[in-house]
Structure 1
Amino acid sequence: MASYRDVRDGEISFTCKIPSTVSSVPGSFDLLFYAPSSYSKTPSPKKHPLLINFHGGGFTIGHAYDDARWATAVTSQTSAVFASVEYRLAPEYPFPIGIEDCVSAVLWLWKHADEYNLDISKTAFSGFSAGGNFVYAVSIRLNQELERLKKENKLDGLKEGKLVNLVVFYGSTDYTESRAEKDASNPNLIPVIPPLLLKLFDESYLYLNPDKTSPLLSPGLASDQLLRDAFPESLVMINCAGDQLLAESEIFRKRLKELGKQVDGYVVEGVGHGWDKSPSFKRGNVKRDEAYTLAVKSLEGVWTSV
C-alpha cells in the first residue's frame, strides 16, 4: 500500500485557461494538470491515459488543487495525466453551469489530445462530494451533448474519446431528499458539515429552483437506459460509514450492479464525510491510503485492459 504525502499546488505540472463552450453563460476557467514523471509536453508517440477530476465544496467553495493528494496517488502509481477542473462556482454560477464547464473541459481535452499526448480512449472521471455528484452528472450531460453534436453534424473534427471508468468518493445521488431526511437515513451519522453551511450550499447552487428529479442533480433517479448509455462498464464508489449520503449512495451502487455495471469500492468504517481531506502531516492516514490505492488499482486495471 502506498502512502501519499500532503501536497497542494506545489505539485502542479502546468495550467491553462479554456472557454466554456457548452454553457449558455459565456466565460472561461482553469485546468490544472498533474503529470507522471514519464510525461513530456513535447510531441511524442507515447500517449497517456486521462483522468479528469472535479473537486468538492458544495458547488460553492473549493478549488481544483484541493485534490492534489489524490492526484499524486494517481500520477505516482500510473502513467496517467490528471486534469483537475476549476469550474465556475455558485451562487454566481448556479446549476447547471458547473456541470457544463466540466463537459466543456472534457471536449477541449479530447480536441487537444495530440497536443498533450493523451490517449483519450482511456478517459476516466473522478470526484469528491459535490465533485462526485459531478462525475455522474457530467457523464450524463456529456452523453447528451455528443448526441446533439452528432445529430446536428457539428462534431467539427472532434476526436471522440471513450469514458472507461468513474471514481466517486462520497458523492450525492438524490437531491429530492431533504438534509434532515438524509441525516435520519444513517443511524451512525458522524456530523461534519454544519447545517447552516449545508443550507448555504443548497440555496446557492439551487436558487433558480431547478427540477430536483433531473438526472443532472439526482443521478440515482435517472432511467435505466440513460445510466446504461452514459456510464462506462466500470466504476469505483468509496463511501463513508458516518455520512448522511451513505444510504442513497449504497442504493445507487446496488442499482448499478443490477444494471450489469462492475462497481468496485467499499464503505470506509468509522469516518464521516470528507474524512480523507484532513491534514495528516507525519501521522499519515491509513484508511485514506487504502481507499486511494484501491481506486488507483481499479483505474490501472481498466486502462491496461482497454
Structure 2
Amino acid sequence: MTPEDLSPLDRAQLAEKLRSNPTLTFRNTPEQQALLDRVTVTEKMIPTRHGDCRTLLVTPPEAGANAPLFINFHGGGFVRGHELRDTIFSAAIALRTGARVLDVDYRLAPEHRFPVAFEECYDMVAWVFSHADQLGIDPGRIALGGHSAGGNLTATITLKAHHTGDFRPVLQVLDYPFLDAATDPEDKTPGIEDAVLPYERMRSFNRLILADPAEARNPYLSPVFTDPARLPGIAPALVLVAGLDPLAGEAERYATMLVAAGTEVRLRKFLNSRHGFVTNGLEEAAEARDLMVSALKEAFARPI
C-alpha cells in the first residue's frame, strides 16, 4: 500500500479520531487495581536522541538489587498512547515473574512519524543495557516484549541490535505484532476483518506513521521484509497470534522466517481471540499470559 500524504491539519484530525474512538474500551476492576497496590511504580526519564523517553519502572516486593527486567511496549498503532491497562499488565507480569518491568511511554505519530518511535525506543533500550546498575537489574537478564505496534518495536529493536551487536535480549515477546506496513490490510490475512481492527482503521494508522511511503518496506518498520540471511543468531522469540486478527498472517510469516534461520521460536495461535485480547483480558487472555510468564521465567533462568 502507498499511503497518500495528508496535510498537517488532516493528520491531526485523523489522529484525534483514532484516539477518541477506541474499538476496545478497557474497564478497570478492583482486582486489577489491587495489582497496582502491590507494586512500586517509579517514573524514569531515559535519554535518547529525540529527548527523554518517559518510562514507568514497576517493581514487585521481592525484587532484589540484581533482578531481571522485562521491557513492555504498548500497542495503539503508533498513534494511540500509553494507558492504565499497560501499567496494570506490567504489574501483573512483575508480580508473577519477580522481574522489574519497564513500561514505556514512547512518542506517537503523527506528531512524531517513523522512524522517531523506533529510534527513541532503541536508544532507550541501549541505555538500559549500559546503565543496568542504576535500575537495579541484571543486564544479562533483560527481555523485550510488546503488543501490536509494541510487538513491532520489540521485533525491530531486536533485529537492529542483532545487526549492530549493541545488545541482546534473552527473549523477544511478539504479541499479535504489526510487522508489515507495505501490504494493504485487506490482503494480509484474506477473509479476516476484525471489528477491533477494521481495514480502514489500519490504513489510517499507516497514513499517520509514514512520512515517506518508500519506508513501508524498511525492515526496521516491516521486519517481514528483512534479508533472511541476516537473521541467524537473533534472540529467541515467543510469538502470540490471535486467530481472528487480520495481523495473524504477518506474525506467522515472521515466525516462519525466524525458524528457518535457526532461531528458537514458540508460536501459539489462539483461534478464538481477537486483536488486543491479551492486554484487555478478553477471550483466551489468561492462557496467553500464562504462556508469556512461563517463557519469561525460563529465559531469565538461562541468562546469555
Q: Is the 8 A contact 2:40 2:60 kept in 1?
A: no
Matched with 2:197 is 193
Question: Which stretch has the larger CA shift, 54-63 or 248-257?
Answer: 248-257
Matched with 1:6 is 32
Whole-Å separation in 2 of the counterparts to 1:186 and 1:67: 30
How many residues are aligned here? 272
Secondary structure of 1:164's match? coil
Q: Is the 8 A contact 1:73 1:292 kept in 2?
A: no
Whole-Å separation in 2 of the counterparts to 1:39 and 1:64: 24
Q: Are residue 172 (structure 1) and residue 191 (structure 2) matched?
A: no
Whole-Å separation in 1 of the counterparts to 2:231 and 2:262: 11
Unaligned runs of 5+ in 1: 41-45, 148-160
Matched with 1:209 is 213
Secondary structure of 1:249's match? helix
Q: Is the 8 A contact 2:272 2:284 kept in 1?
A: no
Unaligned runs of 5+ in 2: 1-29
1:138 positional shift: 1.2
Percent of aligned positions that are identical: 27
Whole-Å separation in 2 of the counterparts to 1:113 and 1:256: 28
Q: Is the 8 A contact 1:120 1:162 kept in 2?
A: no
How do 1:109-148 residues align onto structure 2 when only pairs under 5 Å count?
Answer: 109-144=128-163, 146=165
Secondary structure of 1:122's match? strand
Whole-Å separation in 1 of the counterparts to 2:123 and 2:249: 31
Q: Is the 8 A contact 1:32 1:65 kept in 2?
A: no
Secondary structure of 1:34's match? strand
1:53 positional shift: 1.4
Question: What letter is aligned with 2:107?
Answer: R
Matched with 2:242 is 240
Secondary structure of 1:243's match? coil
1:223 positional shift: 1.4
Secondary structure of 2:296's match? helix
Secondary structure of 1:14's match? strand
1:18 positional shift: 2.3
2:169 corresponds to which of 163, 166, 169: 163
Question: What letter is aligned with 1:255?
Answer: M
Whole-Å separation in 1 of the counterparts to 2:256 and 2:125: 28
Matched with 2:228 is 224
Q: Is the 8 A contact 1:169 1:238 kept in 2?
A: yes
Q: For the structure 1 residues 37 and 9, does the alpha-carbon distance in structure 2 shift closer, same or farther, using more than 3 Å as the test?
A: closer
TM-score (norm 1): 0.81
Q: Are residue 35 (structure 1) and residue 54 (structure 2) matched?
A: no
Matched with 1:99 is 118
1:213 positional shift: 1.8
Question: Which stretch has the larger CA shift, 73-82 or 121-130?
Answer: 73-82
Question: What letter is aligned with 2:144?
Answer: F
1:198 positional shift: 2.4
1:5 positional shift: 4.3
Matched with 2:45 is 17
Whole-Å separation in 2 of the counterparts to 1:181 and 1:109: 38
Matched with 2:270 is 268
Deviations 1:10-38 (A, max 9, x none): 655101222223xxxx4222011111211
1:257 positional shift: 1.3
Matched with 2:295 is 298
Whole-Å separation in 2 of the counterparts to 1:69 and 1:304: 24
Secondary structure of 1:17's match? strand
1:130 positional shift: 0.5
1:64 positional shift: 6.0
Whole-Å separation in 1 of the counterparts to 2:174 and 2:253: 14
Whole-Å separation in 1 of the counterparts to 2:232 and 2:92: 29
Whole-Å separation in 1 of the counterparts to 2:211 and 2:154: 22
Matched with 1:256 is 258
Question: What letter is aligned with 2:124?
Answer: A
Whole-Å separation in 2 of the counterparts to 1:244 and 1:15: 35
Secondary structure of 1:211's match? helix
Question: Which stretch has the larger CA shift, 206-215 or 129-138?
Answer: 206-215
Deviations 1:79-105 (A, max 9, x none): 211001111111111001101111111
1:75 corresponds to which of 90, 94, 118: 94
